[in-house]
Amino acid sequence: MNRKRRVGIGGIATESCTFSPLNTTIDDFTIWRGDGMQEIYPYLPAWIWRDRDDIAFIPCLKAWATPGGQVTSDAYAEMKAELLERIEAALPLDGFFLDIHGAMSVLGLDDAEGDLATAIRALVGPDCVISAGMDLHGNITEQLVSQVDVFTCYRHAPHIDALETKERAVAHLVHLLDTGIRPHRAFVRIPVMLPGERTSTVVEPGRSVYGRLAESDGVAGVIDPSLWVGYVWADQPRTNAAVVVTGTDVVAISREAERIARRYWDARHDFSFEVPTGDPDWAIDEALKLDQTAVFISDAGDNITAGGAGDSPFMISRLLTRKEFTSGARTAIVAAIPNTEAVRVCIEAGVGSEVTVSIGGMLDPVNGVPLDLRGTVSAIQRDDPEGGDTAVVRCGGIRVAVTSRRKVFFHRSDFEAVGLDVDAHHLTVVKVGYLFPDQRAMASAAFMALSPGAVNLDIPSLPYHRVQRPIYPLDPRTPDPDLAPMCFAPIGG
């Protein structure tokens, strides 16, 4: 019997907004090492124990952080060094599953994932098959494509297929190891930069553009067709949409890559927001007109899931200008705004106490100004694994959840844990862009507020200097591009 083949697993994943002054540090990352990584790869034990006793998976290191500002060079250097050290200890490797997001920005680096993949390739050598499983909001470069054998990325936004995608990346890797195939990659840069909020796959044209990737799945010579919307809040040359089709038949993968890129380019004017979207005061007006409870408003300019700091108090200040809310005739939840000091003050004062706390503009002083919030502490929750401690401050009809660490209230249980029932209040303001599945289920209606912030959805208004021009929509008249792919020959012998 042949020796067991050895497959390493690892990566560093986050999404970083270069317009946010809030750097992502080593403390913001959760790091899993060695066997401790099994909890994040629930599908792998099945491969290891049931199906494939001829492959040994060697978990090395996986780091993940909530989207935020750029990663400090120290944090990246530390994680990269440990990952490489663990890979070196695992050598020789026949394969490597590179588990990355694709939109990590590191201070001083234009292409962090390309840098990481290059360092891993140098260590594992040309004979090792590397498979990358990514987020469709990642940004792709020639350097990254030159180092990785096979790519796949999510086909749904919101990412209901996250785990399925990672499993597909591992399946591609095992397929290449079983067959001995080293594939070609056809790469197309598409000069379009649209935010995830305009390219949701829940509505058209995103639904069809992504749905039609399945047509390329069955084509002979194609292993994987992938389309990246990209990540727009990074002022870097790599910021754009992209296609990579991996396969064995250069003609087939080139044709499919160009077809997919053409569909995306042709649809560029049709992408729109999936819910009514506009000025924050307009969104509040429209929500109130409905005269119903559980109406959600996304505070999209400060969307934590896109890298916003989450501590802009802008929406609270708009609600406070309205008598119907200050009087309590109408009620609203704002969840949540991170501020360690404010939470400490609330905990010290206790439930039922009157407090005045300053919130906002601490993490991101560029995009938010501090606001004094005067009210009653109505709930306290301690030691949430993600948000830390939480206090709810009631200010007339407005209930503001303040967390000691950045946390998105994705689930009903997040609200219930601090005594908030979205069905009992007219409005619920959340720090996201598009609503996530549980939020959609809770919402009786939804609006998106084009609020100011580091992840402002008015893309042409952002101060880009380094993206490749022309690009739509910064240059509305971007000429019809040449979408013929750049083809990369198989890596190795």
CB-nearest residue to Zn ion: 137
Q: In the bound complex, what is the minimum distance in angstroms from residue 159's beta carbon to Zn ion?
A: 6
Nearer to Zn ion, 136 or 188 (CB): 136
In the bound state with Zn ion, the residue whose beta carbon lies nearer, of 135 and 364, is 135
- Verify binding: residue 197, Zn ion, rule CB under 5 A: no
The interface with Zn ion within residues 227-256 (CB under 5 A) comprises: none
Q: Specify the residue for token string 């040449």.
A: 482
Q: Which residues on adjacent β-strands are paired with residue 342?
A: none
Pick the piece of the chain touching Zn ion (CB under 5 A) from 16-24, 131-139, 221-229, 466-474.
131-139
Alpha-carbon distance 442 to 428, whole Å?
A: 10
Of 65-73, 135-143, 310-318, 366-374, which segment contacts Zn ion by CB under 5 A? 135-143
Cβ-based nearer residue to Zn ion, 137 or 407: 137
Could you tell me the smallest distance in angstroms from the CB atom of residue 14 to Zn ion? 11
Kindly state the tokens that stand for 263.
Answer: 């569909």
Among 121, 137, 268, 322, binds Zn ion (CB under 5 A): 137
Residue type, 33: R
Residue 52 vs 101, nearer CB to Zn ion: 101
- The sheet carrying 29-33 orders its strands as 29-33, 55-65, 5-13, 95-99, 129-134, 150-153
Q: CA 315, CA 313: separation in Å to the nearest integer?
A: 6
Binding mask 87-126 for Zn ion (x = CB under 5 A): ----------------------------------------
**Nearer to Zn ion (CB atom), residue 271 or residue 488:** 271
Q: Is the previous residue joined to 63 through a cis bond, with omega within 30 degrees of 0?
A: no
Minimum separation from the CB atom of position 308 to Zn ion (A): 14
Stretch that binds Zn ion, among 17-25, 128-136, 325-333, 394-402 (CB under 5 A): 128-136
Q: Which is nearer to Zn ion, 62 or 137 (CB)?
A: 137
CA 433/CA 435 separation, integer angstroms:
6
Provide the pairing of β-strand 95-99 with 5-13. parallel
Cα 228 to Cα 153: distance, rounded to the nearest angstrom: 7
For Zn ion (CB under 5 A), the number of binding residues is 2
Residue 15 Cβ vs Zn ion, minimum distance, rounded to whole Å: 7
Structure tokens at 216: 């390329």
Minimum distance from CB of 162 to Zn ion (Å)?
Answer: 9
Q: How far is the CB of 46 from Zn ion (least distance, A)?
A: 26
Cis peptide before 205 (omega within 30 of 0): yes
Interstrand relation of 16-17 and 354-359 (parallel, antiparallel or unpaired): unpaired
Radius of gyration of the chain (CA): 23
Minimal distance in Å, beta carbon 214 to Zn ion?
20
SS3 (DSSP) at 127:
coil
Q: Does 135 bind Zn ion (CB under 5 A)?
A: yes
Nearer to Zn ion, 349 or 432 (CB): 432
In whole angstroms, how close is the CB of 487 to Zn ion at the nearest point?
27
**101 SS3 class:** coil
Shortest distance in whole angstroms from residue 238 CB to Zn ion: 16
The residue among 95 and 195 lying less far from Zn ion, judged by its C-beta, is: 195
Q: Which stretch binds Zn ion (CB under 5 A): 136-144, 280-288, 362-370, 476-484?
A: 136-144
C-alpha distances in Å from residue 327, one per residue of 324, 338, 376, 387, 424: 5, 25, 14, 30, 16
Closest to Zn ion by CB, 137 or 198: 137
Query: Of 37-45, 134-142, 422-430, 459-467, which part binds Zn ion (CB under 5 A)?
Result: 134-142
Nearer of residues 29 and 325 to Zn ion, judged by Cβ: 29
Which pair of tokens denotes residue 339? Answer: 């501020």
Q: Is 166 in the site for Zn ion (CB under 5 A)?
A: no
List of residues 6+ apart from 273 with CB closer than 8 A? 197, 198, 448
Q: Helix, strand, or coil here: 92?
A: coil
Determine how many CB atoms are found less than 10 A away from the CB of residue 211.
Answer: 14
Q: Is the dihedral of CA 62, 64, 69, 75 positive or negative?
A: negative
Segment lying near Zn ion (by CB under 5 A), choices 70-78, 133-141, 401-409, 462-470? 133-141
Q: Cβ 103 to Zn ion, closest distance in Å?
A: 8
- Which residue number, 135 or 149, has a Cβ lying nearer to Zn ion? 135
Shortest approach of Zn ion to residue 367 CB, angstroms? 21
Continuous H helices in 91-237: 112-124, 142-147, 162-179, 206-211, 213-217
Q: Which two tokens stand for residue 261?
A: 């890129």
| Contact residues: Zn ion, CB under 5 A | 135, 137
